[in-house]
Amino acid sequence: MLSQIVRPMVRTQLRLLANTQATRSTLVATIAQWLSFLGVKAEVTELNTQSNQICVSLTVGKPEACDDRDWEQILKNLDQPKTNAETAQAISALTAKQELKLQRLLAYVIQVGDPNRPVEWDALQPQLASLGFSEEMLLGIKSALKVPQALDQLTENLDADVAALALSKAVGIALLDRQVNPLEDKALSALLEAMKQ
């Protein structure tokens, strides 16, 4: 599992940063190195501390796995005026059937997050709201949680746009507890594969 491989490496890097005299240059090199593992060429353009946090600005080049046409479209999309409601607009553009599928996919990711315990909606709902879910989407997810979901059925003939929306939200859900278990990893991988179809 990816998290079992990555976590020890992260702890080692953190120890290195704490014990080096060249913390700034080491952190800059580490960020670039970690992004390079993903096939992304990145350069740190600014790094400073603020309110007990590290603020980093990056310049990112076209990832190796990205074709030229997709990269040009990404740049064009980013040049459009920024809105906080982009994901909400994308979700509202879905058909009722697609929205139901999205709700069921996200319910599945929640269910497998801790498959040995029932979902405590009162504790989960504020966390999901912090990820930008609308009240309507939250109600749909809550309803879908009442029924066991099957990943194979959910990803069968899954529309790539729905998979993309689901993946971006599923990553946030999976990371609510700061770890990704094997079932969550399998779900994220299945969504990624569906996006490529």
Residue type, 21: Q
The confidence band for 84, taking pLDDT boundaries of 50, 70 and 90, is very low
Query: In this structure, are residues 46 and 58 in contact, taking their beta carbons and an 8 Å threshold?
Result: no
Distance CA 112, CA 178 (A): 14
User: 21-67 pLDDT, tens per residue?
Assistant: 888 888 888 888 778 777 788 888 898 888 888 888 989 888 887 88
Reduce the secondary structure of 62-90 to three states and give it as a string.
CCCCCCHHHHHHHHHHHCCCCCCCHHHHH
Tell me what pLDDT residue 104 has: 93
Please choose, from the candidates 114, 107, 98, 104, the residue with its C-alpha nearest in 3D space to the C-alpha of residue 161. 98
Query: In this structure, are residues 43 and 67 in contact, taking their beta carbons and an 8 Å threshold?
Result: no
User: 114-173 pLDDT, tens per residue?
Assistant: 888 888 999 999 988 888 888 899 999 999 999 888 899 999 888 888 888 888 888 888
